[in-house]
Structure 1
Amino acid sequence: MAKAASKRKKPDRWRRIATIGGIGALALVLLGLVALVIAVYTARASLPSFEQLKSSPNGQMIRVHAADGTVIVSLGPSYGEWIEYADIPAVMRQAMIAVEDRRFRDHPGVDPVALGRITKFAIETRGTGRRLQGASTITQQVARTVFLSNRYDVGRKVREMILALALERKFTKDQILELYLNKVYFGGGAYGIDAASRKFFAHPATSLTLSEAAIIAGLVKAPSRYSPTADADAAVGRAGVVLDLMVETGAISAAEAARAEPTQVKMAPAPRQNSVRYFTDWALPQLEVLIDETQAPLDVWTTLDLKMQAAADRAIQANAPAGVQGALVALDRDGAVRAMVGGKDYVSSIYNRATQATRQPGSAFKLFVYLAALEAGFKADDQVVDEPVTINGWSPRNSSGRFSGPMNIRSAFAYSINTVAAKLGQEVGFGTVADMARRFGITTPVNTQPSMVLGTSDVRLIDMTRAYASVAQKGVAVTPFGITRVTANGNVIYSHEVDTSRVLVAPYVAAQMTDLLQTAVATGTGRAAQIGRPVAGKTGTTSSNKDGWFMGFSSGITTGVWMGRDDARAVGGLQGGTAPARAFATFMRAAVADRPVEPFDTQVTLPEWQLEPDEESYFGQPDNGSYVDEYGMPLPPPGEGDYRYVTPGEEGEIVPPPMPGQPAPSTPAVPDRERLDQDWIDRALGRVPAPGGPPTERRRPGDAPPQRERPPRADREVQTERPIQ
């Protein structure tokens, strides 16, 4: 009897536990429902009116202004006309419901069927890390578009569902669909069907056809993937899926779907994107570190000069050879970017060769060799010898294949003598040259192999232009910038301030360097860059004519030009003194036309050569890092490869132009001491004294005899294969 009673009690106990558990679960469900109802109606009470939602912005709008205030680019949301529900074509409404939320007319804002499907998917894929998606209704998408962000997490999903339920309690289905079709993002900056229709088909959304509606409806899932302007085949394929879904849901018949031909839809021509976009693509990402505002519409005021930009476009188009890309950067004396061209055609290639590409600069890199030498005490009139030299097994050759014997440093720079650059690099130390390059703003790795003096380290055009601009500013660091100020709702939230406190080299060093750069344009390899006013600059040509550079400045504008092929193949006849120098001259004539002529202040009193700039004249320390010699092999000997320069005046072939009244030589002659003498250079530079006046005095106070011996110095030890510390 006792055992039987015990058996009866156990089931009773489990039933009581189950009953209590069930009651508890039911209570929790009821409490949850009550909490949900309270949350929904609380959210409903806080929702704006329908008219307020219609006028709310779709996202942050950015207007970019040129230096004169002209709006050059509008980015962010593209706003079309608001289309009332009754004016939205029925095929557009049906297409969107079919592809995005086929039970839109039946659910209360959240689709239980879709929730069940996604829950099952979550259980099956648990632990795989796959993202759950596909359960959002049109109402939920409205809630997310208007009130929330696209960040995916559980908390955001719960808020989205509560807002969707609240929206359904406050607005009709037609109103919700109207909000959705006028606010959802369709790619390419287009928000709403009217903006999308005008962007892709060049007509208002009120006249959308079935095929066009299918294309637009197919964009919501992945705007970038199915954009008809980016991938027409993908857009047409997705439109076919939309048409099939419309047939499946009964929105259209199979015959109507068959008559629709998305492949025959006429697309709007892509707007012409000029080179201004190279500049805005470089400048606008800087907003992320300049400001914190992410909601209010912004007006971004930039440094771009539209006249100079147009001149830069013309210069590259007119001078870059067929099949060759070109890039140009122009900086004002304070670092303001006045023009930037990153390639011949922005539409065909958005790759910015002015700021992204890294290429060998050739002899344009000798700027840093001679800066280091001048800082170490060398002067333009010091004598050097162009002769065979071997450094650690490397024997540099001149492009002409000849050696010119004794000459001064000014002539060696003007005619880009490689052996002299190698000797100077060895004298001051290759690590010191690399240090100078980093000091002047070269941000790419710089190797310390002996061949580095000929520009074997890859650099960016904007960095090289910055370096030359700093020389033009008498050794004061110039930092390129493109944004002058940013306003939000009329209030200035950022204003650029120019920093002129960083001195890279002493003024006398910069002045001497400018003197050398003037000579290179007046009498040397850069004669094609002459523009009828004082110009200082330097050419650069790499082995086998793969890259051509010209860097120079005049009247406060510093301009860098690069030309070459993207695949780095050789280009016959491409040299720094040809097409790049001509492009520089074409641009600069227009760029400085309204500026006064500014002679260079190169007449300075040099200190005793032993005196060095103090430590405060240096800009920081070189960056740490390892530097590898990717292109450190010596140039091929004459006759091998398409690199021999035969044009008079080009790099290495030293053929000075005849003086007035003298006949031009019939063939390029081997340069000798007489053709390179200082008297000839003085006459070419206008340093000839007036008739009857005293002879030209080239020596300056403190100058030592040209061929004096220099005492040994500890800081002139040869430094090779040493990373910059």
Structure 2
Amino acid sequence: MTAPGPAPDRSRLLRRLALLCVVAGVVATGFLVPLGVGIDDLSYQVPTVSGGPDIDPAKVPLATTVQDRNGATIATLYAQYRTPVSYAQIAPTMTAAILAVEDRRFFDESALDPTSIARAVVNNASGGDLQGASTITQQYVKNYLIDVVDRDDPAEQAADRADTVGRKVREAEIAVQVSHAMSKQDVLAGYLDLVEFSGSVYGVATAAQAYFGTTASALTVPQAALLAGMVNNPTLDNPYTHPQQALARRNVVIDAMVQDGSLDAAAGATAKAAPLGVLANGPVVPGSTCMSARPDAGFFCAYAVSYLEQAGFTDDQLATGGYTIRTTLDPAASQAIKDAVDADVPTTQNGVANTFALVQPGATGHQVLAMVANRNYGTDAGAGETATNIVADPSNVFGAGSSFKIFTTAAALEAGTVGFDSALPDPSSACFPVPGSRTCYPVHNDGAGYPDPISLQDALATSPNVAFVGLEEKTGLPAVIAMAQKLGLRTTLASNDVGRPPITDPADPLSKNPQYDQPQSQYYQGKPSFTLGDSPVSTLEMANVSATILSGGVWCPPTPILSVTDRTGAQVPVNQQPCAQVVPPGLAHTLAAGLSRDTTIGTSAAAASAAGWTHPGIGKTGTTNASESVAFVGGVDDYAAASMVFADGPHPQEVCPGTPVHLGQCGSGAFGGTVAAPPYFAAMKAILGGQPDVPVPPPDPAYLEPRDGSSTVHAPN
């Protein structure tokens, strides 16, 4: 380590500061070269500041705006809440006020004020401290260092504020360079765009809106004077916490405006008589994260942010880059779903969550239209909020129940071990071999009356357990799990059996427990219960499974992003996974046809009838063994959806139907058709309105009968 050099001589630094004034050509009339400065010293050239920053307005942190698909703001992301403003957009009252109180000679001087420099030199000669009176240009540099260059380094920020000669010299050197590179108007606008007005409020445009609900171009004299007065000490002169001090400081500014001639005496008296006039309960600024989004948009916003971070954006970029993020969120659909889930399970209902995701199928993309829950996205658990994205993440740790029979059916159709017209063995109970074990897995149907054998179509509609575990055994667990991954369970199957990333730290005692250290794609290879859906799952990904089926077997990542533009309006590319044909179109059509009877004769038929539902579509319910979770996965027209109701508290129990849905020990418990399906029908009726029905495609003839195991891609019918 290099030993620190001797501290610079204070007198030498002051002389250097004075010489900067001379070199900058800003010596005022009558200003004499400071005593002790020799003629040879006048040849001093302003150096490039070693390691000094470029003062670039394009690097000033700006707030990022997250919008719905119609362009309405749903959230604002920021580290410093600031909206850009040009000199032409700032009211003359504001420029007059700031110059009157901070730097009256701004338009006549260069980067430095020789009068202040001379006073500092004289003061230093008498042993006093370095005095203030920096120019606007110097203040611009100082604030740029604090709020841009060193905004993440408290120690450097303290050095930027330190009342030392060395700091003043560095600041002055950079200010001289700024004065050569920028016009006076741009420097003044840059300064007013940069400065803090207390808390999260940065820049005059934001301050005008936050304190007065107006724009920078419309500021009145009293308003402009209040803001100009706050710049020097935004904490002490805060009109909300120190109203009398703020009023007194405002009036000092108004007096200064009268003194310098920018305001006549009568207008000044009128302005001083005006009240503070700030907005109630302000400053009024939006929250800085997705937790400030409206109740139906918080989880969606959080997913959009995580999606962009996975695409390469950093958290700091999103908080400071001034991007405009246009998302795929459909506000009408999102609100309709929010109304439906809140009616099913109240927001503050203890221990019960109702999540719902809506995705638009398509061969070139799967746009996420809504991600909603009865819970809201936030930190107040007492108000029914949660900081976990329970719609996107594999947060339903109890599983989606029999809706996983979709994967077993698709894998069997792909392998050719079953056809659309096949009948499945379906005894009331059976015990199936467990791979790699001498034991068997006992299974029974939930209720009596199932035919044996049962047709594949009727089995999908009425959901007998024995038939599907038998089909899973015949097809093979690896093929079923691989099908789940292909159709859409990407994040889900990469998580462990508690819905978290697998533990890989060998120091963690759970790292040797397969339930925690293995992804589900590995952990369930020997567990026949997979087709009964007893593993953690993402509601969003189950909706995307439905979208893959309705897209003719094309999987696409569930995208929440339409476009991203930077602060200049230029398009910013977003890296996304490409779509892929994961199963043949004929298989997807056949699977859809098999799922088309759930709402007419199947497990959701009663709820559909009660809702007056008549639209053709696909559906599959699910209920876990102890009813801790129930699900409905479906789709209609150009919409794919999943609704899941599950226990989400620290003391999970059986989910019970009722008004409201609640936890308890109710014996029969909730079912996918009785609790998870109703919000689907309610929301989709509102969303569809009078749209004409879109029929479900018929099964592909190639998949009507069992085949030899090949998977030939057939053209859609």
User: Does TM, scored on the shorter chain, surpass 0.5?
Assistant: yes
Alignment of 1:220-259 (within 5 A): none
Give CA deviations for 1:408-446 in whole Å, capped at 9, x if unaligned: 222222111111121112221222222211222212332
Which of 308, 325, 328 is matched with 2:333 structurally?
308
Distance 1:580 1:149 in 2: 51
Question: Counterpart amino acid of 1:370?
Answer: T
Which of 536, 552, 556 is matched with 1:458 structurally?
536
8 A contact 2:634–2:642 mirrored in 1: yes
- Name the CA shift for 1:561/1:84 in 2 (closer, same or farther; >3 Å): same
- Residue 378 of structure 1 corresponds to 418
- Residue 707 of structure 2 corresponds to 610
Which of 615, 634, 640 is matched with 1:552 structurally?
634
C-alpha displacement of 1:487 = 2.7
- Residue 164 of structure 1 corresponds to 171
8 A contact 1:521–1:537 mirrored in 2: yes
Distance 1:614 1:108 in 2: 86
C-alpha displacement of 1:504 = 1.7
Distance 2:197 2:608 in 1: 49
Q: Structure 2 stretches of 5 or more lacking a match?
A: 21-43, 101-115, 125-137, 161-165, 180-185, 247-279, 287-291, 433-438, 493-518, 658-669
Comparing 329-338 with 199-208, greater Cα deviation is found at 199-208
- Name the CA shift for 1:25/1:297 in 2 (closer, same or farther; >3 Å): closer
Matched residue SS, 2:355: strand
8 A contact 2:627–2:655 mirrored in 1: yes
- Name the CA shift for 1:71/1:441 in 2 (closer, same or farther; >3 Å): same
Distance 1:309 1:160 in 2: 54
- Name the CA shift for 1:206/1:277 in 2 (closer, same or farther; >3 Å): farther
8 A contact 2:67–2:75 mirrored in 1: yes
Distance 2:449 2:457 in 1: 18
Which of 345, 349, 354 is matched with 1:326 structurally?
354
- Residue 564 of structure 2 corresponds to 486
Distance 1:150 1:478 in 2: 39
C-alpha displacement of 1:498 = 8.9
C-alpha displacement of 1:468 = 1.7
C-alpha displacement of 1:164 = 2.6
8 A contact 1:63–1:298 mirrored in 2: yes
- Residue 202 of structure 2 corresponds to 191
Distance 1:74 1:566 in 2: 29
- Residue 469 of structure 1 corresponds to 547
C-alpha displacement of 1:321 = 4.9
Question: Counterpart amino acid of 2:632?
Answer: F
Give CA deviations for 1:256-312 in whole Å, capped at 9, x if unaligned: xxxxxxxxx956788674122322221134344657795764332222222212212
- Name the CA shift for 1:497/1:395 in 2 (closer, same or farther; >3 Å): closer
- Residue 352 of structure 1 corresponds to 389
- Residue 63 of structure 1 corresponds to 65
TM-score by length of 2: 0.59
Alignment of 1:244-643 (within 5 A): 273-274=293-294, 275-288=296-309, 290=311, 297-321=322-346, 323=349, 324-334=352-362, 335-347=366-378, 348=380, 349=385, 350-359=387-396, 360-376=399-415, 377-380=417-420, 381-391=422-432, 392-400=439-447, 404-442=451-489, 443-444=491-492, 445-446=519-520, 447-448=524-525, 449-488=527-566, 489-494=568-573, 499-500=578-579, 502-527=580-605, 528-529=607-608, 531-567=613-649, 568-573=652-657, 574-593=670-689, 595-606=691-702, 609-614=706-711
Distance 1:463 1:400 in 2: 30
8 A contact 1:398–1:417 mirrored in 2: yes
Distance 1:319 1:202 in 2: 39
- Name the CA shift for 1:153/1:331 in 2 (closer, same or farther; >3 Å): same
- Residue 658 of structure 1 corresponds to none
C-alpha displacement of 1:593 = 3.0
TM-score by length of 1: 0.58
Distance 1:292 1:320 in 2: 36
Distance 1:612 1:572 in 2: 43
8 A contact 1:328–1:561 mirrored in 2: yes
8 A contact 2:407–2:484 mirrored in 1: yes
Q: How well do the aligned residues superpose, as a CA RMSD in angstroms?
A: 5.4
C-alpha displacement of 1:85 = 9.0
Distance 2:403 2:537 in 1: 11
- Name the CA shift for 1:486/1:542 in 2 (closer, same or farther; >3 Å): same
Question: Counterpart amino acid of 2:689?
Answer: A
- Residue 13 of structure 1 corresponds to none
C-alpha displacement of 1:184 = 4.8
Give CA deviations for 1:290-341 in whole Å, capped at 9, x if unaligned: 5779576433222222221221222212222561322221111120111221
Distance 2:464 2:687 in 1: 31
Matched residue SS, 1:518: coil
8 A contact 2:359–2:641 mirrored in 1: yes
Distance 1:26 1:353 in 2: 59
C-alpha displacement of 1:583 = 0.8
C-alpha displacement of 1:459 = 1.1
Question: Counterpart amino acid of 1:217?
Answer: T
C-alpha displacement of 1:554 = 0.9
8 A contact 1:541–1:549 mirrored in 2: yes
8 A contact 1:142–1:179 mirrored in 2: no
- Residue 117 of structure 1 corresponds to none
Distance 1:333 1:219 in 2: 55
Question: Counterpart amino acid of 1:68?
Answer: N
Question: Counterpart amino acid of 1:451?
Answer: S
C-alpha displacement of 1:395 = 1.3
- Name the CA shift for 1:510/1:268 in 2 (closer, same or farther; >3 Å): same
C-alpha displacement of 1:189 = 5.2
- Name the CA shift for 1:86/1:155 in 2 (closer, same or farther; >3 Å): closer
- Name the CA shift for 1:440/1:47 in 2 (closer, same or farther; >3 Å): closer
C-alpha displacement of 1:518 = 0.9
Distance 1:313 1:26 in 2: 65
C-alpha displacement of 1:199 = 5.0
Question: Counterpart amino acid of 1:382?
Answer: A
- Name the CA shift for 1:354/1:24 in 2 (closer, same or farther; >3 Å): closer
C-alpha displacement of 1:386 = 2.8
C-alpha displacement of 1:217 = 2.7
8 A contact 1:139–1:167 mirrored in 2: no
Question: Counterpart amino acid of 1:587?
Answer: A
Matched residue SS, 1:609: coil
The number of residues matched between the two structures is 514
Distance 1:388 1:146 in 2: 69
C-alpha displacement of 1:559 = 0.9
- Residue 142 of structure 1 corresponds to 143
- Name the CA shift for 1:147/1:40 in 2 (closer, same or farther; >3 Å): farther
- Residue 3 of structure 1 corresponds to none
- Residue 235 of structure 2 corresponds to 217
- Name the CA shift for 1:201/1:609 in 2 (closer, same or farther; >3 Å): same
8 A contact 1:388–1:403 mirrored in 2: no
Question: Counterpart amino acid of 2:466?
Answer: T
